[in-house]
Amino acid sequence: MPEREEPVRIVAYPNGPLLVRGPVEIVGPDGAPLPRRRRTVALCRCGKSTIKPYCDGTHKVIGFVTEPEEPAED
Ligand code: FES
């Protein structure tokens, strides 16, 4: 019986990166897989990382702030 894969989960970390957990392949513009050393990866969304697409922590240095989430509509 095949094992069930865990679902991919992306967490928009407040004032920081997108944390990606689960079996997902990250590729470059040419379609070639990018190196991934950890099960959970942090993708930069401040635009200032020196190791894009991954987060290198620069968001803290520059004071990157995300917008507060809007309440869900009923
Ligand atoms: S989100 Fe961490 S360096 Fe951009």
d(CA 65, CA 14): 8
Residue 68 has pLDDT above 90, yes or no: no
Predicted confidence at residue 3, as pLDDT, reads 65
Predicted confidence at residue 47, as pLDDT, reads 97
Tens of pLDDT, residue by residue over 4-61, are 778 999 999 999 999 999 988 999 999 999 988 888 999 999 999 999 999 999 999 9
From ligand 1's centre to the CA of 19, what distance in Å? 11
Say if CB 58 and CB 45 are below 8 A apart. no
Residues 7-24+34-67, CATH architecture: 3-Layer(aba) Sandwich (3.40)
From ligand 1's centre to the CA of 46, what distance in Å? 5
DSSP string, 31-73: SPBPP--SSEEEE--SS--TTTTB--SHHHHHT--PPPPPPPP
Which band of pLDDT confidence, cut at 50, 70 and 90, is reported for residue 67?
Answer: confident
